[in-house]
Structure 1
Amino acid sequence: MHPIFKIKGLKYIKLLGLGLLFLTFIAAGDLPQVEKLHSLKVISFYSAKNDLAHISFVKEANEWFTTCSEELGFSYETTDNWENLNAEFLSNYQVVIFLDTRPEEPKQRVAFENYMKNGGGWLGFHFAAFALTPSSYPNDWNWYQNDFLGCGAYKSNTWRPTSALLKVENRTHPITLQLPERITSSPNEWYQWEKDLRENPEIEILLSIDPLSFPLGTGPKPHEIWHSGYYPVVWTHKKYKMVYFNMGHNDIAYENGSNKELSFTFKNNDQNKLIIEALKWVGN
């Protein structure tokens, strides 16, 4: 709970001091952030049909965002009906989240593009940026992959899901201000992309894999273990209110057939803080 809401339990002399502080906050313009968060309406789209690791993440994410909404006062709703991705439905929300996939129908894609171009907010996780031809999610949406995300097609990934040391590339951005220079992520399957985001002036990389993480991944295939290179994992596009997170793949015990969940994405304070600050920023 915000400190302002605890005034009733304080003595009179403290009340007077807090009253002056309250007026100072108003003058400084800090309180509107709290008010905007309390009026924020968020909708999450997901599929949760294929990879057990992604299904585990979606379930965890919906539970975590619901808890956060109750604590911070914003509205959080979910849907697996992508037909809801239309102008009328989206007009009710300030932020859209793609938890594990993307829209495939042309009319849904047009509705989302228009939503973003008209000031909507977006958070995307992990598989929401996956595109590979040939696959069930081909690289056939030029605006989304090449302009909006800027990364182009999926190229490769690490395996197994492992934690990584992440370097905060920009500590002056509103969503990274409270982070240290480096944070340790939850276990994740990390993606490599077709395009080098450092060459795109419209893209602002916020976090990347720190070289101290190498070798990253355990294999068993040699190409699933990264030994060098530059890999952005959180970024935004300067023309849009959006943040993409490469996180979103929980570790699952596939090998022994138990399919037990071995890791969780949201059991990480620094990473959670980053996501909440991103939600506030895109929803502002």
Structure 2
Amino acid sequence: MPKLSLITLFVVLSTVFSFGQASKSGFKVIAFYTSKNDQAHISFVHEANKWFPKIAQQYHFRYDSTSNWNNLNAEFLSQYQVVLFLDTRPELPEQRLAFQKYMENGGSWMGFHFSAFALSKSTYPQNWDWYHQTFLGSGEYASNTWRPTSAILKLENTKHPITKGLPKTFKAQPNEWYRWQNDLRKNQNINILLAIDSTSFPLGTGPKAHEIWHSGYYPVVWSNKNYKMVYVNMGHNDIDYEHKFDRSNKTLSYTFENEIQSKMIINSLLWLGKGK
């Protein structure tokens, strides 16, 4: 066979092999978002919808996003292997039921920051027991640090695929860190993966005293052993709320501009994309 033909054949076979590998590892991700409340959450959503498509191209999966929560139905979800909640949660009963059935039938989910928020007598009350008590296990929101600040995080489970290749401790991006009603350590279904390391204290700058944490145990990334899911407390960019720089609520930090933290999120997506 002529030399040119051999080279052509090699190129064709290599292309087919590469396509086969990408198809074999490929999965589809759909991200739901609201992007209306709190400039920090809006900033994160915009950042996520730019970052995830780049990661999808690099790791051979498909990323779609929608602000239409009515798409949270069985027919639409059947197209996707992974669901993301970037900021909020579904509010209508039919949307909630569709999501619960999706997860109970082997779907995968990752939620960020505000997607777990619930507080009685607020716009987002704890009126969904399956999601907040059974699925997330956290119950209601209890308090937070302020301002958004970095924290040193420690691995609580070094054997899980999500923490693979991560150092035992690392510095996270600035974030508003949440405390929860329930102690997740007492829930046998919850697998805590990352928590705030004690070297972070005091955490927060105030101005209110209760917005600065001096001690305690605070999980920030965890999974539920009964579902293919992971919750990540990150997702609140630092914002120029006081207009020190200009009048436009300028973003001062970005969630995905942290190599180690981003590796954890990529690990999470690849683990979720493997299915049941």
The alignment's TM-score, normalised by the length of structure 2, stands at 0.90
How far apart in 2 are the matches of 1:37 and 1:57?
27
Does structure 1 residue 186 correspond to structure 2 residue 173?
Answer: yes
How far apart in 2 are the matches of 1:75 and 1:69?
6
Which deviates further from its counterpart, 256-265 or 189-198? Answer: 256-265
Does structure 1 residue 262 correspond to structure 2 residue 262?
Answer: no
Alignment of 1:125-144 (within 5 A): 125-144=112-131
- 3-state SS in 1 of match to 2:57: helix
8 Å contact kept, 1:37–1:280: no
Q: Deviations over 1:37-60 (max 9, x none)?
A: 32x000000000110000000000
Query: Unpaired runs of 5+ in structure 1?
Result: 1-7, 9-31
Which deviates further from its counterpart, 54-63 or 256-265? Answer: 256-265
Q: Deviations over 1:153-194 (max 9, x none)?
A: 000000000000000000001111211101110000000000
Could you tell me how far 1:36 is from its partner in structure 2? 4.5
Alignment match, 2:14: none
Alignment match, 1:278: 268
How far apart in 1 are the matches of 2:187 and 2:217?
15
Alignment match, 2:57: 70
8 Å contact kept, 1:131–1:138: yes
Alignment match, 1:252: 239
Alignment coverage as a number of residue pairs: 255
Q: 1:255 to 1:108 in 2, by over 3 A?
A: same
Alignment match, 2:164: 177
- Root-mean-square deviation (CA, aligned residues, Å) is 1.6
Identical residues among aligned pairs (%)? 64
Q: Deviations over 1:105-163 (max 9, x none)?
A: 00000000000000000000000000001111000000000000000000000000000
The alignment's TM-score, normalised by the length of structure 1, stands at 0.87
Alignment match, 2:17: none
Q: Deviations over 1:15-48 (max 9, x none)?
A: xxxxxxxxxxxxxxxxx9965432x000000000
- 3-state SS in 1 of match to 2:223: strand
Alignment match, 1:242: 229
Query: Unpaired runs of 5+ in structure 2?
Result: 1-6, 8-19
- 3-state SS in 2 of match to 1:108: helix
* Amino acid in the other structure paired with 1:277: N
Alignment of 1:176-215 (within 5 A): 176-215=163-202
